[in-house]
Amino acid sequence: MSRPTASLAITPQLLLRAYSIGLFPMAESARNDALFWVDPQERAVFPLASFKVSRSLAKIIRSDRFEIRIDHDFDAVIEACAARTPQRENTWINSEIKRLYGDLFDLGFVHTVESWKDGRLVGGLYGVALRAAFFGESMFHRETDASKVALAHLVARLRRGGFRLLDTQFLTDHLASLGAIEIARETYHGLLDDALKASADFLVWPTERRLGGDEILTTLRAPPIAGA
């Protein structure tokens, strides 16, 4: 379900309210400032208890090839997510999306998980945390596996912090290979309602703490926190 809307009417508070009832905004293209609300018939989510870490990905995580930073450079992350690439000539991240999510970042509702190497941002993601739900918005990579490692760190953090829902909006082959599944809208809304009744802590590990790959893998292999 999509509804055109006047972008000037959207505030950070309205955006949070939309997430709480299962809606998220998109634009037709980066060049089009208008936004519309989306509530898909089928929704993609990551069951937090069954995130798939292949043997090769586990080796990369354990190697600490990438330094993972949290909430370090939101502007750089969203610009990278919005950038055109040979594989992606256009994106839905327009100037209004950047403004709104920048405001939510300043308010503490948007978070980034960033992969750095040799002082360069080479991959990462951003999303919205609301109660015990995390809404993944976009991810990017400039080096192979940089976004996968960032995603693994995200899932470990969500598990450790007591989150119940990781929403990834639409299913892709890439996300499915990591354990994402597609569920009906009604099922998603039920999971969302449950997550919004619970509390969680995205910053259960402080942003200044640099987590090693062994700790991330241990967290991913441990039983989920009760209720999560």
Per DSSP, the three-state class of 188 is: helix
Q: Residue 227 pLDDT more than 90?
A: no
pLDDT attached to residue 225: 62
- Concatenated DSSP letters of 103-153: HHHHHT-EEEEEEEETTEEEEEEEEEEETTEEEEEEEEESSTTHHHHHHHH
What does the DSSP 8-state code read for residue 224? P
1 within domain boundaries: no
| 20 within some domain | no
Longest Cα–Cα distance of the chain, Å, equals 47
Given a cut of 90, whether residue 197 has pLDDT beyond it is: yes
Joined tokens for residue 79: 């610009």
Alpha carbon distance 166, 105 (integer Å)? 18
**Residue 3 domain-assigned (yes or no):** no
Strands 110-117 and 120-130: antiparallel
The rounded Cα 131 to chain-centroid distance in angstroms is 14
pLDDT in tens, 148-185: 999 999 999 999 999 999 999 999 888 898 889 999 99
Average pLDDT over residues 29-43: 87
Please report, for the domain that includes residue 90, its CATH number. Answer: 3.40.630.70
Give the whole-angstrom CA distance, residue 220 versus residue 159: 8
Q: Is residue 31 part of a domain?
A: no
Q: Which two tokens stand for residue 93?
A: 């991240």
pLDDT digits (tens, 9 = 90+) for 88-106: 666 779 999 999 999 999 9
Show the domain range for 124: 41-221
- Residue 151 forms part of a structural domain: yes
Instruction: For residue 50, tell me if it sits in a domain.
Output: yes
Count of structural domains, the chain: 1
Contact of 155 with 53, CB cutoff 8 Å: no
By DSSP bridging, strand 165-169 and strand 133-141 are: parallel
Average pLDDT over residues 7-30: 87
User: What's the rounded Cα separation, in Å, for the pair 140 and 175?
Assistant: 13
Tell me whether residue 74 is in a domain: yes
Tell me what the mean pLDDT of segment 11-31 comes to: 91
- Give the pLDDT score at 2: 40
pLDDT band at 7 (very low <50, low <70, confident <90, very high): very low
pLDDT at residue 5, as a whole number = 40
Average pLDDT over residues 210-220: 95
Residue 171 belongs to some domain of the structure: yes
Q: What's the whole-number mean pLDDT along residues 79-94?
A: 80
